[in-house]
Structure 1
């Protein structure tokens, strides 16, 4: 009797293991690519030649995969200026720069006397998903302030 019970227990365990392993699929569904957005804090819309504007940016992902990398490229279709990263790296138009953080700052310094200036920022992940942000600046002429000075002669 004991042999029959042991044999039935072994058969039940084997049947349960075949059922569990038989229902598994070899296709693993690991998601690596997640949509993302790039958000910017508001920036000044008027800038004078030589003046610098801080641009605060944040990349927001809908999910997270540790192997996702983000790069930045920029173009300046209107005007002339210099774009720098927080660490002082001067960006060259159309060159790709690896972003180490998802929350960072850029600094744009106007070198233009044109009426309008535009910079286009392109953010791309390693899955070729691209987002674009454009910033438009109007030229603000620096006006010299003249204060009234009164001179008293004795």
Structure 2
């Protein structure tokens, strides 16, 4: 009788081990989907239409992410194609056109200072480290 009980315990233990092995081996690391790449939108508060030579305009920008990944990094680049002026982040040195600069925050202010008496136009590109990119265009009419 003892021998029969030992055999049934052994069989139950064997079934439990095999069931665990089958269940654990069915997990596949390739099926694990961790999303890091989240598209985003760029929201800009309204800015004045006109600007005078030497005037500085504040541009408030918010990057609205569709998801949150803590290692997402954002960058800014701009190109001015009409008129002359400078663009800077808070009190930092003015940006150089076509250079890429890191953005430390997703909500920030840029300051554009006119350096001409004609209409001015420029584009800003905001991108992330996953290749997503958004373009925002600005046009200021001369008030001089």
TM-score, length of structure 1 as denominator length: 0.84
Measure how far apart 1:69 and its partner are.
1.0
Select between 2-11 and 117-126 the one with higher mean Cα deviation. 2-11
Computed over aligned residues only, the root mean square deviation of the Cα atoms, in angstroms, reads 1.4
Tell me the residue number matched to 1:35.
39
Question: 90, 109, 112: which one pairs with 2:116?
Answer: 112
TM-score, length of structure 2 as denominator length: 0.90
Q: Work out the number of aligned pairs and report it.
A: 140
Task: List structure 1 segments (4+ residues) > 6 angstroms apart after TM superposition.
Answer: none
Measure how far apart 1:90 and its partner are.
1.1
Tell me the residue number matched to 1:51.
55
Question: 133, 136, 150: which one pairs with 2:136?
Answer: 133
Question: 95, 100, 105: which one pairs with 2:104?
Answer: 100
Measure how far apart 1:12 and its partner are.
2.9
The answer to whether residue 93 in structure 2 is matched with residue 89 in structure 1 is yes
Which whole-Å deviations, capped at 9, do the CAs of 1:104-152 have from their partners, x for residues lacking one? Answer: 00000111101x21120011111222110001111112xxxxxxxxxxx
Measure how far apart 1:29 and its partner are.
2.2
SS of residue in 2 equivalent to 1:90: coil
SS of residue in 2 equivalent to 1:109: strand
Which whole-Å deviations, capped at 9, do the CAs of 1:17-58 have from their partners, x for residues lacking one? Answer: 123113211303222211111111111111111111100001
Gaps of 5+ in 1: 142-154
SS of residue in 1 equivalent to 2:120: strand
